[in-house]
Amino acid sequence: MRRVTRLMREDPEQRLLLAASGAFMFALTALKMPSVTGSSSHPVGTALGVFLLGPGEMPVLAAIGLLFQALLLAHGGLTTFGANLFSLGVVGPIVTWLLFRALRMAGLRWELSCGLAALAGDLATYLTTSLQLALAFPAPAGGIIASFLKFAGIFSLAQVPIAAAEAILTVMVLRNLSQYLKQTSFTYAS
């Protein structure tokens, strides 16, 4: 909250990017897509905010998005708010940020770095969710590890293609946005 408050106070021009990042995440996470297992999956939408603002602002944006979804769309729920906030707002953005930085240091083009980091952040979010579910519901035979493998396997069937599509979408949005931002004094947080 302090980072977002400071950003709003010190650089009010960033308000639009903050709002756009939050809206992008909310819109993507609200897209529930049926999974082959009868459940649903969705894109996470945090990578855009990570690339524009940094990972520190994402827990606040994720909290706002999750709260709206729980109250308005009956998606997620208040009882799982903390777990969802941790996987969506903390783990995914940190993985995205760290991998992006490592890939850029390794000399990869920013588009490829952004795409791979967005893909990894999305998958890290769902692997974290799989671990959370495994801890909450250990399998009678095999315990937490068996349960984690089951949940991760189920999620991967739908989430891998969703994550790939989201990575491509994020790069496309950033590429188009960069055309506008080159005309301003904005620099990427990454």
Give the per-residue pLDDT at 43.
Answer: 87
**How many structural domains does the chain have?**
1
Asked if residue 189 is part of any domain, the answer here is no
Torsion sign over Cα 79, 84, 89, 91: positive
Can you tell me which residue has the tokens 């937490």?
144
- CATH number of residue 75's parent domain: 1.10.1760.20
Asked if residue 187 is part of any domain, the answer here is no
Task: List the structure tokens of 70.
Answer: 């729980």
Asked if residue 18 is part of any domain, the answer here is yes
Give the per-residue pLDDT at 22.
Answer: 85
Asked if residue 172 is part of any domain, the answer here is yes
Asked if residue 125 is part of any domain, the answer here is yes
Task: List the structure tokens of 30.
Answer: 């609200």
Asked if residue 46 is part of any domain, the answer here is yes
Give the per-residue pLDDT at 38.
Answer: 65
Asked if residue 188 is part of any domain, the answer here is no
Asked whether the beta carbons of 63 and 85 are under 8 A apart, the reply is yes
Give the per-residue pLDDT at 182.
Answer: 66
- Domain, as residue range, for 6: 2-181
Give the per-residue pLDDT at 186.
Answer: 52
Of 54, 176, 175, 187, give the one whose Cα is nearest residue 110.
175
Give the per-residue pLDDT at 92.
Answer: 96
Residues 6+ apart with CB under 8 A from 2: none
pLDDT per residue as tens, the chain (190 positions): 777 777 777 776 777 788 888 888 888 888 877 766 666 778 899 999 999 888 988 999 899 888 888 888 776 677 788 998 999 999 999 999 999 999 999 999 999 999 999 999 999 999 999 999 999 999 999 999 999 999 999 888 888 999 999 999 999 999 888 777 666 555 555 5
